[in-house]
Amino acid sequence: MLEGSCHCGVVHWVFDGRPESANACNCTLCRRYAALWAYGFEDERIRVSGPTHRYVPGDSLGFHFCPTCGCVVYWRALAAARDGRRRMAVNLRLAEPQAVAAIPVGRVDWLHGSGSLPPDGRHVAGYWV
């Protein structure tokens, strides 16, 4: 189990198990947030608590951040999938460094709309510099 929270501790997330990887996205929003996302489904592998404000830049995702300190904590799909589950991702940068350091990071190029990029061998710890 992994845990993370915003800087002030008002918003908290739990990720059951260990994600196989994280994603670094270069879309216009994620590159500004500098988030490393670990994916799952609401109330399955991912549970969140605490009040958030939400920014909805389009018609599919809501980005949730702490109303006190401003940290981007997670994103959640606006609608459930056909199976009733709702996709989410938590920001691994809000976890303790030693707990997530060895998780491999995939890269996603949504800035140019091309999807996944080849892995470059980095892990979460390689994004802290």
End-to-end distance of the chain based on CA atoms, in angstroms?
25
Q: Rounded CA gap, 8 and 42, in Å? A: 23
Query: Can you tell me the distance from the alpha carbon of 31 to that of 36, in angstroms, rounded to the nearest whole number?
Result: 10
Is residue 41 a contact partner of residue 124, using CB atoms and an 8 Å limit?
A: no
* Among 95, 82, 83, 81, CA closest to 127: 95
Task: Fold for 2-127, please state it.
Answer: 2.170.150
Please give the share of the chain, as a percent, with pLDDT higher than 70. 99
Q: pTM score > 0.85 for this model?
A: yes
Q: Is the pLDDT of residue 129 over 70?
A: no
| Encoded tokens for 62 | 């809501």
Grade residue 59 by pLDDT with cuts at 50, 70 and 90.
Answer: very high
Residues whose CB is less than 8 angstroms from the CB of residue 27 and which lie 6 or more positions away in sequence, other chains included: 108, 110, 111
Which strand (E) or helix (H) includes residue 31? Answer: helix 30-33
Q: Which token pair is 106?
A: 């995939």
